[in-house]
Amino acid sequence: MKTTTNSSANIKNLTSLWKTAGNSFESYTQTSLFDYCEIKDSQWPNRLWFHQNINQKTMDAVKEQLASTSSTITLPIWETTDRTELLEKNGFHLRFEQIGMSLQPTKLLEVNPPLNIQLVKSNADATLWANLFTKSFGYVISAETLLKTLNNIEYYIAYNGTTPVGTAVLYYTQKVAGIHSVGIPPEMRRKGYAEQIMKLLMNRCVTNNTELITLQASNMGKNIYLKLGFKEEFVIKNYVL
């Protein structure tokens, strides 16, 4: 898919989110070849991403960097180039794919009560969010990560009345709002919560005069976003060694 202004804004929001999390732990590094972030005892963001064309020299530097880590580091590729072939030649394999999507919000959406979203503000909130997230996605974002980044990243717990039913993240880069980590634990699925959470987040974006909302969807989850008016724009291929 052709890179567009919206796609660039999407990628900028996503990589800025990773940088913000990494900087909170003094674990973000920028080199002439790539950016890198690893948070110990957490599986997120733990990313290495390129900002120029890669060659075998670049791959050798990447593998040297990864050899010094104890975590699984994901390499996202969002351009259609020969990068994927070079990665595979160097022992990397495709772990999962995502679809970059965006929407220009125009109006408030109707939400079914009593669903609501509440900001994470305390240790107890952070622990609850982290537990819900792990149940939803099968990997770990530590409560410590939340507590160190609350001033820059908005973490939300979704409630049906007083029952916690899901997680979400809002992250702003200027007038762009990235929606991330919308997750529903298995026992709470098939009740329409994900769509309602999205509507609540989109309404917050409208209230905050957001010009563009971005996200990265799985193939399984993209239909919810298409239904809400989001457009598919590019593919992210995520590799691991």
CATH of domain 115-234: 3.40.630.30
Q: Give the residue-averaged pLDDT of 181-197.
A: 97
pLDDT digits (tens, 9 = 90+) for 102-148: 999 999 999 988 999 999 999 999 999 999 999 999 999 999 999 99
If you search the block for the tokens 């149940």, which residue do you land on? 135
User: Mean of the per-residue pLDDT values for the chain?
Assistant: 94
14 burial level (CB within 10 Å; 0-12, 13-18, 19+)? buried
Beta strands in 80-189 (DSSP E): 93-103, 115-119, 154-160, 163-173, 176-183
Residue in 202, 161, 196, 165 with CA at minimum distance from that of residue 183: 165
pLDDT at 90 over 70: yes
- Is the peptide bond between 45 and the residue preceding it cis, with omega within 30 degrees of 0? yes
Q: Return the domain boundaries, the chain.
A: 5-99, 115-234
Beta strands in 104-226 (DSSP E): 115-119, 154-160, 163-173, 176-183, 212-217
In this prediction, what percent of the chain has a pLDDT beyond 70?
A: 98
Beta strand pairing status for 115-119 and 93-103? unpaired
Give the pLDDT confidence score for residue 84 in this predicted structure. Answer: 84
pLDDT digits (tens, 9 = 90+) for 70-89: 899 999 999 755 678 899 99
